[in-house]
Amino acid sequence: MQRVVGRASIRFHDLATRIHARAFSSAASGAFESFGPRSVLQPPVRLDGERWISIGGDVFIGGGSYLQVLYGDTAHGRLEIGAGTSMTGNCVLSAAGSVRLGTKVLLARNVYIADHRHRFEDVGVPILDQGVEQVEPVVIGDGAWLGQNVVVGPGVTIGEGAVIGANSVVLHDVPAYSVAVGAPARVMRTFAAGTGVTA
C-alpha cells in the first residue's frame, strides 16, 4: 500500500511540475521576439535580452538554464532556437552577435554555447568589467546532439546530425554527420547521412 501511495505522490508531483512549467511559459512567452506553440520553459530559467530571442514550436528548455542576449545602447545580439529542440537543463546560451540552433537539436545537461569570450588582459580591471571580444556567429545544425558538459566557443559551426561527446570543448567546425570528442574536440569519424556507413 505504501508503494502505491508513493507512486501516486510522484505522479501528482510530476503533473504539478508540468502544469507550473506550462503556466510559466505562457506568462513569459510575450516577452520574446517569438515563442512557438507548445514550447516549454521549465522554471527556474534565467533570461536576459529575451526580446531578441526567438523560440520555435515544441521546444523544451529545462530548469536551471540561462538564455542571454548581450545588448547595449546601439547594438544587440540574436539567439534563435529551432522547432523541436530539447535542452535537458542547466544549459547556457549566450549571444553577443548570433547564436542559432537548428531544428530538433538535443542538448544534454550543462551545455555552454557562446559566440564571444570575455576579455582578460587588463590586470587592473576585473574580468567582469572588461567586456567581450572575438564575437563570431555560432551555428548548431539540425538534429545535432551535444553531450553533457559540452562547451562550444565563438565562430563554430556544428553540422547537421553531428554528435559531440560528453565533456568536449568545441573550438573548430565539426562537419555534418560526424562524431567529435575531446578538449579540444577532434572529429573521430564521419557517417553518411541516413546510411549508417562510417568513414
**Nearest residue to 146 via CA among 116, 188, 101, 191:** 101
Catalytic position from the list 20, 76, 116, 118:
118
Instruction: Provide the 8-state DSSP code for 127.
Output: G
Helix (H) or strand (E) holding 5: helix 2-28
Place of cell 546601439: 74
**Nearest residue to 153 via CA among 194, 112, 197:** 112
Give the separation between CA 142 and CA 161, rounded to whole angstroms: 6
Q: Is 118 a catalytic residue?
A: yes
Please list the active-site residues. 118
